[in-house]
Amino acid sequence: MRERVVGFVVAGALALSLVLSSTPARAQLSLGVVGGYYSPNFGWINDYYFDSFNDWRGTHFKFKPAMMYGLALGYDVTPHFRLRLEYNSFKSETSDDFWDYSALPWATYYDSDFKLTVTPVILSGIYRFSPFYIGGGVGSFSTEFKDAYVYEDYLDETLIKRSFRSYSASDNPLGLLLLGGFEYSGQGFSGTLEARYVVAEADLKDWLQDAKADLGGFQVCAGILVPL
């Protein structure tokens, strides 16, 4: 899988390099920033693991949608067609604490934190019929999951031992992106407002055998591009 992802990134960079070197001088290169709201489905990790654990321990673990941000490199191959290479970052965190009294007179206190970080690299083709545009892309949705917790062992309410443990898993799944938006061209810049839908899933089996995170879902983004 990692070899495929590396191959995709290299192929995308080469394709963009070839376009940059072979496209007529009238084509326009631009650099910008993008930010917005990302609402993944999360799938198994929310709907099965966290729901089951919350019912068992009375906790409130749940990954939630959050803001995403990144950089974009655009290249207007023709007045109607643009290539865009993006690097984005997204992070969702959840934490809670609970007690385990199953071994009285011993009791254990847990303070747990879960974090899911997604850093997509996406190459998109965009067709513009001013001021609107549509497009699609393919990308590497690099994903890192971390489970870290502190636990304290008590005997008759006396602290005996305090320890820390952590687990992690990572994956680099390929994903698809569908998009549509509106572009406004101003004096020396262009602004975009865009809706997207992502199709991707990360395998977190290095943490638990059946663990998965569904990265598919909607994004609503705004961006600013400045010609170079």
Please give the pLDDT value at position 70: 97
Q: How many structural domains are present in the chain? A: 1
Residues of the chain below pLDDT 50:
1-23, 25
Q: Are 215 and 39 in contact, with CB atoms under 8 Å apart? A: no
Please give the pLDDT value at position 14: 43
Kindly report the CATH number assigned to the domain that includes residue 39.
Answer: 2.40.160.20
Please give the pLDDT value at position 3: 46
What is the pTM (predicted TM-score) of this model?
0.86
Q: In angstroms, rounded to a whole number, what is the distance separating the alpha carbons of residues 206 and 212?
A: 10
Please give the pLDDT value at position 28: 86
Peptide bond into 105 cis (omega under 30): yes
Q: Which domain holds residue 221?
A: 2-227
Q: If DSSP states are collapsed to H, E and C, what string results for 88-147?
A: EEEEEEEEEEEEEEEECCEEEEEEEEEEEEEEEEEEEEEEEECCEEEEEEEEEEEEEEEE
Give 137-177 pLDDT, tens digit per residue: 999 999 999 999 999 999 999 999 999 999 999 999 999 99
